[in-house]
Amino acid sequence: MILEIKYRPALKSDLEFLLDLRIQTMNAHLTASSLPVSDEAHLQRINYHFEHALIIEIDKHPIGLLKIVRRADNIELIQIQIAASYQGKGIGRRILNDFITEAIESEKTITLSVLKTNKAKNLYSNVGFKIVGETNDSYLMLFENYVREKRFCNS
């Protein structure tokens, strides 16, 4: 059975869920990168571009967070976090593939930043993102239309 993924705008009433989700999904990566893991640091990141935050739901149950900014020539994936109990079920890949389809159809690129210690980097690479820059703790990754088209041609 394929789970139906729905999105709704995040509300301030979601902050407790979002803090729990961020602690659950990010503490190990942040600690491994020697970055702060205080509630204050988490809340600062949660509130960053909060106006673009979407709650990912399955059966009206919140299971994750998605933050994206759509621009004229680019889609910026700011954050995607899936609750641990829903990871490994292809949900993140399905969400990424939806945005890849949107990017191809609208001739946009997709950019994101991922901590070097986060295994999600492998998923991003597997769906066609390339590393185009880095900081001390993160990779900047880019998806361009031709990358996906080439991948399909070679399949």
Using one digit for the tens of pLDDT, what is the confidence trace for 50-103?
999 999 999 999 999 999 999 999 999 999 999 999 998 999 999 999 989 999
pLDDT tens digit sequence for 95-130? 999 989 999 999 999 999 999 999 899 999 999 999
Is residue 148 predicted with pLDDT exceeding 60? Answer: no
Distance CA 81, CA 46 (A): 11
Give the tokens for residue 137: 């703790």
Residue range 5-153 forms a domain whose CATH class is: alpha beta
Distance CA 117, CA 29 (A): 6
Distance CA 140, CA 90 (A): 23
- pLDDT, residue 70, reads 94
Give the tokens for residue 123: 């998923």
Averaged pLDDT of the chain = 90
Coil, strand or helix at 46: helix
pTM: 0.86
Composition of the chain by helix, strand, coil, percent to 5: 45, 30, 25
